[in-house]
Structure 1
Amino acid sequence: MEVRPWHREDRRHWVIARRSIRWPDQISYYIAYCPAETTLDELIRIAGSRWAVEECFQTAKGECRLDDYQVRRYPGWHRHITLAMAAHACLTVLKAREADAGKAETDPPSSYPLPSPNSDA
């Protein structure tokens, strides 16, 4: 449902209600502020991605100390958050590479590499 339609011509405010499939009596509400041309499908997709973002922040809190900051001004907070999220991204990539390497060690190769022309073999 659109709210405050008089605010700006190029922006819209929406209230989105989402009912859980697993627990139909639980309803989540979102307030969205978006460009006027944003479709309802886009709003729903973005609202649904919230849980992935929440999980990312929870993991970063545990692994990268995202929530351990004691700053008094925005620049210090921003630097801490940026560094913690960069560390989390690095750890995620390393974990994915390790999983791929483990898979590669257990799977038989599809073909054997040919020796290079400069090799002694």
Structure 2
Amino acid sequence: TRHDTVVTRWAIDHPVHDLFNGLARQKWKRRSCGTGAHGQRIYDWARVEVRPWHRDDRRHWALARRSVSRPEEISYYIAYCPADTTLDELIRIAGSRWAIEECFQSAKQECGLDDYQVRRYPGWHRHMTLAMAAHA
């Protein structure tokens, strides 16, 4: 959310919203993150590097997804990926979240993924494994 914080060069708890608040217009790219129920899901996207203490071959990014019709609506993602990962790749991966959520919703309705009453991990693990196998 806009109130979550990230580690930056300037602060340990830096509000993620402030990273994108004054970002130059050319840093925002209009891209589709995949097909949804009503066609292409097109948003404005931008990324800012966070957590400057990293391995040479990896990067942490704060990724912002801004609504085209309502620019005040912004969603945020944190990504940890290879250093050469492009913005388009991050957008594609962020867009895959919708399909994953649809799969879990379907599994809850059809296979009882959320209908368990257990108190220990082995029981929960068995239930989840069988529900996911049934859903597959």
Taking the aligned partners of 1:72 and 1:13, their CA distance within structure 2 comes to: 36
TM superposition shift of 1:61 = 0.8
Higher relative contact order (CA 8 A, sep 6+): 2
TM-score (norm 1): 0.61
Stretches of structure 2 lacking an aligned partner (at least 5 in a row): 1-47
Who is 2:99 aligned against?
52
Alignment length (residue pairs): 89
The share of aligned pairs that are identical, in percent, is 83
The verdict on how the C-alpha distance between 1:74 and 1:2 changes in structure 2, with shifts beyond 3 A counting, is farther
Whether 1:68 and 2:115 are equivalent positions in the alignment is yes
Taking the aligned partners of 1:72 and 1:8, their CA distance within structure 2 comes to: 40
Who is 1:37 aligned against?
84
Taking the aligned partners of 2:124 and 2:84, their CA distance within structure 1 comes to: 33
The verdict on how the C-alpha distance between 1:8 and 1:88 changes in structure 2, with shifts beyond 3 A counting, is same
3-state secondary structure, aligned to 1:70? coil
TM-score (norm 2): 0.55
The verdict on how the C-alpha distance between 1:26 and 1:88 changes in structure 2, with shifts beyond 3 A counting, is same
Q: Following superposition of structure 1 onto structure 2, how do residues 100-115 of structure 1 map, counting pairs within 5 Å?
A: none
Who is 2:72 aligned against?
25
The verdict on how the C-alpha distance between 1:83 and 1:20 changes in structure 2, with shifts beyond 3 A counting, is farther
Higher strand share: 2
Give the CA RMSD over aligned residues: 2.0
3-state secondary structure, aligned to 2:133? helix
Taking the aligned partners of 2:99 and 2:91, their CA distance within structure 1 comes to: 14
TM superposition shift of 1:73 = 4.3
Question: If you compute each CA radius of gyration, which structure gives the higher value, 1 or 2?
Answer: 1
Stretches of structure 1 lacking an aligned partner (at least 5 in a row): 90-121
Select 1:82's aligned residue among 129, 132, 136: 129
Amino acid at match of 2:81: C
